[in-house]
Amino acid sequence: MQEREEHEQLLTPSEVAAMFRVNPKTVTRWARAGKISAIRTLGGHRRFRASEIRKYLEQVESEPGLS
């Protein structure tokens, strides 16, 4: 499982924000609130697993009343 995680594509907050059409600070708030999980780099920056973000995006798009 460790190997798979090493090869997982990681996204920056800006890349995630572009996918959801929101501000990068909103993505940071979601991470703090636990809606999405973040990985911290050695420099303290957040990175997000692309597969998890795609799953969350599908979930949000399928929920009625959210757009």
Q: What pLDDT does residue 63 have?
A: 81
- Fold of the domain built from segment(s) 2-62: Multidrug-efflux Transporter Regulator; Chain: A; Domain 2 (1.10.1660)
CB 38 within 8 A of CB 29: no
Domain ranges of the chain: 2-62
Higher pLDDT among residues 67 and 9, named by residue: 9
CB neighbour class for 1 (10 Å; exposed up to 12, middle 13-18, buried from 19): exposed
DSSP state, residue 67: -
What pTM did the predictor assign? 0.80
Higher pLDDT among residues 13 and 3, named by residue: 13
Q: What pLDDT does residue 66 have?
A: 53
* Long-range contacts at 13-21 (CB < 8 A, ≥ 24 apart): 13/46, 13/48, 16/48, 16/53, 19/53, 19/57, 20/57, 20/60
Which pLDDT tens digit goes with each residue over 4-21? 555 789 999 999 999 999
